[in-house]
Chain A
Amino acid sequence: MTTPGGLLLALAVIVPFVGVLAGFTLGGRNAQRVAMVTIVAGLGIAIAVAAAMQRTGGGLVYLLGGWAPPLGIALRADGPALVMMLAVAVVIVGIGVYACADFGTPAGVREARAPLVFWTLLLAIWGALNLVLVSGDLFTLYVALELLTFAAVPLVSLDGKAETLQSALRYLLYALLGSVFYLLGAVLLYGAYGTLDIALLAARIRPGPATLAAAALMTGGLLAKTALVPLHLWLPPAHAGAPAAASAVLSGLVIKGSWFLVVRLWFDVLPGVLTGPSAQLLGALGAAAILLGNVVALRQARLKLLVAYSTVAQIGYLFLMFPLAFGGAALARESALAGGMLQAISHATAKAAMFMAAGLIYKALGHDRIAGLAGVGRALPLCVLTFVLAGVALMGLPPSGAYVAKKLLLGAAAETGQWWWDAVMQAGGLLTASYVVLVLAHALVPGAAAVKPRALVSRLAEAAALALALCSLALGLAAGSAGVPDVLSGALSPAALGGALVLIVGGALVASALADRLPPLPAGGFAAFGRPVRRTTLVVAAALARTDGVLRLWPVAGLSLVALVVAFGAALMARG
Chain B
Amino acid sequence: MTDAINCGLAILILALAAWTIVARDTFSAVVGFVAYGLLLALVWVQLHGVDVALTEAALGSGLTGALLLYAAARLRATEREARAERPGLPTRVAAALVAACVTVALGIAVLALPDPAPTLAPQTAASIATTGVGNPLTAVLVAFRAMDTLLEAIVVLFALIGVWSLAPDRFWGGRPGTLHHSDPDGVLAYFARVLPPIGVVVGVYIFWVGADFPGGKFQGATLLAAMWLLAVIAGLADTPPIGRTWLRAALVAGPVVFLAVGAAGVAFAGAFLGYPDGYAKPLIKVIEWALFPSLALTLALIVAGAPQRSAP
Contacts and interface: CB of A to CB of B under 8 A. Distances in A.
12 contacts: A24-B248, A25-B251, A64-B146, A73-B144, A114-B169, A124-B161, A147-B155, A158-B165, A195-B120, A210-B110, A212-B109, A562-B99
Contacts of B114: 192
A150 B118 contact: no
Nearest to B88: A555
B118 A193 contact: yes
From DSSP, what is the main secondary structure of chain A's interface residues?
helix
Contact of A209 (B108, B166, B167, B169): B108
Interface in B238-267: 243, 245, 248-249, 251-252, 255-256, 259, 262, 265-266
Given A160-B169, A558-B95, A71 B120 contact: yes
A214 B168 CA distance: 42
Given A18-B259, A64-B147, 10 more contacts: A7-B272, A14-B262, A21-B157, A27-B243, A64-B273, A117-B161, A158-B165, A184-B106, A213-B109, A562-B99
A324 interface: no
Nearest to B142: A65
Nearest to A214: B109
Nearest to A208: B112
A154 B165 CA distance: 7
A18 B272 CA distance: 14
B17 interface: no
A233 B166 CA distance: 22
Interface residues of A, number: 69
A67 interface: yes
B259 A14 contact: yes
Given A559-B94, A559-B98, A25 B274 contact: no
Interface in B147-189: 147-148, 151-152, 154-155, 157-159, 161-162, 164-169, 172-173
Contacts of A14: 259, 262, 272
A545 to B, nearest CB: 21
A117 B160 CA distance: 11
Interface residues of B, number: 66
A160 B307 CA distance: 14
Interface of A: 2, 7, 10, 14, 17-18, 20-21, 24-27, 62-67, 70-73, 110-114, 117, 120-121, 124, 131, 139-140, 143-144, 146-147, 150-151, 153-154, 157-158, 160, 165, 184, 188, 191-195, 208-210, 212-214, 216, 555-556, 558-559, 562-563, 565-566, 569
A389 B305 CA distance: 44
B275 interface: yes
Contact of B155 (A113, A146, A566): A146
Contacts of A558: 95
A154 B162 contact: yes
Given A139-B148, A193-B118, A111 B243 contact: yes
Nearest to B87: A555
B78 interface: no
A565 B120 contact: no
With most chain B CB atoms within 10 A of its CB, the pick from A64, A151, A154, A191 is A64
A139 to B, nearest CB: 6
B102 A73 contact: no
Interface string B43-80: 00000000000000000000000000000000000000
B290 to A, nearest CB: 13
Contact of A191 (B117, B172, B266, B269): B117
Given A7-B272, A65-B272, A160-B169, A73 B147 contact: yes
Contacts of A210: 109-110, 112-113
Given A113-B165, A194-B120, A65 B274 contact: yes
Nearest to B250: A25
B151 to A, nearest CB: 5
A120 B157 CA distance: 11
Contacts, number: 184
Contact of A569 (B94, B105, B124, B270): B105
Contacts of A150: 155, 158-159, 162
Contacts of B109: 188, 209-210, 212-214
A563 B98 contact: yes
A555 B243 contact: no
Contact of A65 (B144, B157, B165): B144
Contact of A143 (B144, B151, B262, B265): B151
A57 to B, nearest CB: 23
A73 B259 contact: no
With most chain A CB atoms within 10 A of its CB, the pick from B94, B113, B123, B266 is B113
B181 to A, nearest CB: 28
A62 B165 CA distance: 35
B142 to A, nearest CB: 10
A157 B113 contact: no
A111 B112 CA distance: 56
A300 to B, nearest CB: 26
B161 A121 contact: yes
Contacts of A559: 91, 94-95, 98
Contact of B158 (A65, A112, A124, A213): A124
Contacts of B169: 112-114, 160
B4 to A, nearest CB: 27
A182 to B, nearest CB: 14
B302 to A, nearest CB: 11
A71 B127 contact: yes
Contacts of A216: 105
With most chain A CB atoms within 10 A of its CB, the pick from B113, B151, B164, B255 is B151
With most chain A CB atoms within 10 A of its CB, the pick from B123, B162, B259 is B162
A46 B9 CA distance: 53
Contacts of B120: 70-71, 194-195
Contacts of B274: 65-66
Contacts of A17: 154, 255, 259
B266 A7 contact: yes
A427 B95 CA distance: 34
Given A7-B266, A66-B271, A72-B144, A24 B161 contact: yes
A65 B275 contact: yes
Contact of A24 (B118, B148, B152, B157): B157
Contacts of A70: 120, 123
A21 B298 CA distance: 13
B143 interface: yes
Nearest to B143: A65
Contacts of A153: 162
A63 B272 CA distance: 8
A194 B117 contact: yes
Contact of A192 (B113, B155, B158, B271): B113
With most chain A CB atoms within 10 A of its CB, the pick from B124, B144, B165, B252 is B165
B145 interface: yes
Contacts of A110: 173, 243
Contacts of B259: 14, 17-18, 21
Contact of A194 (B119, B143, B271): B119
Interface string B104-148: 011011111110011110011001000000000000000111111
Contact of B118 (A27, A72, A124, A194): A194
A25 B245 contact: yes
A14 B151 CA distance: 9
B101 interface: yes
**Which 3 residue pairs are nearest across A and B when measured between Cβ atoms?**
A194-B118, A213-B109, A66-B271
A566 B95 CA distance: 12
A98 B154 CA distance: 27
B166 to A, nearest CB: 7
B273 A565 contact: no
A143 B148 contact: yes
B161 to A, nearest CB: 6
Contacts of A64: 146-147, 271-273
